[in-house]
Amino acid sequence: MKKRGLGFYLRIYFRILAQDLKSKMSYRADFIISTIGMIFTNISGFVSFWILFRNFPSINGWGYYEILFLYGFSLVSLTPVQCLFDNNWSLRMYVYSGDFIKYCFRPINLFFYYQSEVFDIKGLGQLAFGIGTIVYSWGRIGLELTPLMLIKLIVFLITASLIMIALQNMAAALCFWMQNSFFVLDFVYRFRDYAKYPVTIFSPVFRFIFTFIMPIAFIAYYPSLVILRPGEVPILSWLSPLMGCLFFFLSYKIWMYGAMKYSGTGS
């Protein structure tokens, strides 16, 4: 099969995206209600922090605006998995019904083709809220604003996103081997709520779990330390980009391995 370049996949992606957005815009009320619901969900998280810090000036050395920065950082870093990989939630249904077989006969990358079919546009509301929270907390903390700091922020946001994408990819791919895989995917999804907190507030056991087993500490805590506390950055923070890339690559290989072993209904 002819090797496809990045330009080819970008053209294909934007064509698929245009069709998906057209279909979603035909149900505008559903889109508006879903977007408003997501915005209010994020606002509730903001309010919960405000209520908490009215009673406690800091939590284990972390102030209100630092926690708020982590919250905004986690929202932005979780947006790609919300917008670009939402089709993972439907994977098990395609596999169990046998409809997944239709993706196996196209002359393009199977993973790309499947994931690009759905774009969850309401995740853009989460992105906007997250960026606003970062900007607000950035100013309140008094962080230095330089081109280098912005580059660091973007790089570590991207690599933090790769961790959650990888977790979801691997959880979703389990449907190729086990029938009741939804609970694993849901379990991984619920763990993302812990990403908005500093890992240091948890017990040593959970710190180990959130760092090396279910590495949600790399979604916000470790990457954001490069911005928040540049004078005391642990080695794990600098390793975040490498961890994100390696973890995503591993999840891609697992997903593709399961897809290549797929043989139709009942697999």
Dist CA 185 CA 169 (whole Å):
9
In the structure, what pLDDT confidence band is assigned to residue 3 with cuts at 50, 70 and 90? low
In a domain, 266, yes or no: no
Structural domain that includes position 136: 6-261
Domain count for the chain: 1
Mind spelling out the 3-state secondary structure of the chain? Answer: CCCCCHHHHHHHHHHHHHHHHHHHHCCHHHHHHHHHHHHHHHHHHHHHHHHHHHHCCEECCEEHHHHHHHHHHHHHHHHHHHHHCHHHHHHHHHHHHCHHHHHHHCCCCHHHHHHHCCCCCCHHHHHHHHHHHHHHHHHHHCCCCCHHHHHHHHHHHHHHHHHHHHHHHHHHHHHHCCCCCHHHHHHHHHHHHHHHCCHHHCCHHHHHHHHHHCCHHHCCHHHHHHHHCHHHCCHHHHCHHHHHHHHHHHHHHHHHHHHHHCCCCCC
- 223 in a domain, yes or no? yes
**Residues near 118 by beta carbon (within 8 Å), at least 6 away in sequence:** 20, 86, 87, 90
| pLDDT attached to residue 264 | 62
- Structure confidence at residue 27 (pLDDT): 66
The single-letter code of the amino acid at 32 is: I
Count of other CB atoms within 10 angstroms of residue 227 = 22
76 within 8 A of 134, measured Cβ to Cβ? yes
* CA pair distance 79, 18, nearest whole angstrom: 19
Distances (CA, A) of 33 to 2, 37, 86, 90: 44, 6, 18, 21
The token duo for 131 is 């960026």
Say if 207 falls within a structural domain. yes
How far is the C-alpha of 82 from the C-alpha of 41, rounded, in Å?
14
Confidence of residue 267 (pLDDT cuts 50, 70, 90): very low
Could you tell me which residue, 187 or 56, shows the higher pLDDT? 187
**How far apart (Å, rounded) are the C-alpha atoms in residues 244 and 242?**
5
Flag whether 252 is in a domain: yes
Query: What pLDDT, in 10s, does the model give residues 68-109?
Result: 899 999 999 999 999 999 999 999 999 988 899 988 888 889
Residue 74 covered by a domain:
yes
Place of tokens 């499947």: 114
Mean pLDDT of 14-32: 74
Q: Does the residue 184 lie in any domain? A: yes
111-159 pLDDT, tens per residue? 999 999 888 887 888 898 899 999 999 999 999 889 999 999 999 999 9
Asked if the structure places residue 17 within a domain, the reply is yes
